[in-house]
Amino acid sequence: MTIYFSPSKCGFYDTEIHGNQIPLDKVEVPKQIHLQLIEGQSSLKKIVAGENGFPELVDIVFSNEQLAISAREKRNQLLAESDWTQFQDVLSYMPDDKKQEWKLYRQALRDIPSQKNFPIDIVFPEVPV
């Protein structure tokens, strides 16, 4: 089995799978390098063609819009996870200081999009205990 990378298709090809249906601009990639490249994707990196056409890992750059969407999704999840603190039966036995802690926490979550450096540098509030 030989693994190739095509810079024009930005994809890998295996001779056992693709036979002779491999792009002409192929470059052979040693199996160990191929595995490192595949594993590198789990570290928020992507595979691109380098100057010589050989595959390399580069950092994924997220747009501010993508970062904002991700931050809001996390914020919404944290709000949903704390919804139980607002149920009337829970509030009826929760001490006043705990009610206030949860109220401030949930408001801080709602205020995240208003933070000065949103969505680049976000400070999530600590979950009350």
Strand pairing partners for 27?
5
Q: Render pLDDT for 43-97 as a digit per residue (tens, 0 to 9).
A: 989 999 999 999 999 999 999 999 999 999 999 999 999 999 999 999 999 999 9
Q: What percent of the chain has pLDDT over 90?
A: 97
pLDDT at 104: 98
**pLDDT (average), residues 97-113:** 98
Backbone φ and ψ of 39, nearest 5°: -65, -35
* Count of other CB atoms within 10 angstroms of residue 112: 19
pTM to 2 decimal places: 0.64
Q: Which among 58, 41, 56 has a CA at the least distance from the CA of 5?
A: 56
Question: Kind and range of the H or E element at 22?
Answer: none
Average pLDDT value over all residues in the chain: 96
Write down the pLDDT at residue 55.
98
pLDDT of residue 96: 97
Q: What is the pLDDT of residues 40-58, one digit of tens each?
A: 999 989 999 999 999 999 9
- What six digits make up the tokens of 99? 């009610």
User: Percent of the chain scored above 70 by pLDDT?
Assistant: 100
Domain ranges of the chain: 3-59, 64-114
CB atoms near residue 51 (< 10 Å): 7
Q: What is the pLDDT of residue 103?
A: 97
